[in-house]
A and B are shown apart, each in its own frame.
Chain A
Amino acid sequence: DIQMTQSPSSVSASVGDRVTITCRASQGISTWLAWYQQKPGKAPKALIYAASNLQSGVPSRFSGSGSGTDFTLTISSLQPEDFATYYCQQGYSFPLTFGGGTKVEIK
Chain B
Amino acid sequence: EVQVLESGGGLVQPGGSLRLSCTASGFTLNNYDMSWVRQAPGKGLEWVASISGRGDNIKLAESVKGRFTISRDDSKNTVYLEMNSLRVEDTAIYYCPKVEQWLALDYWGQGSLVTVSS
Contacts and interface: CB of A to CB of B under 8 A. Distances in A.
Contacts, number: 64
A50 B44 contact: no
B108 A45 contact: yes
Contacts of B106: 46, 49, 55
A60 to B, nearest CB: 18
Interface size class of B (residues with CB under 8 A): 20 to 34
Per DSSP, chain A at the interface is loop
A46 B103 CA distance: 12
Interface string B24-68: 000000000001000000001111001000000001011000000
B13 interface: no
A87 B45 CA distance: 8
Contact of A89 (B59, B104, B107, B110): B104
Contacts of B100: 49
Interface of B: 35, 44-47, 50, 59, 61-62, 95, 97, 100-111
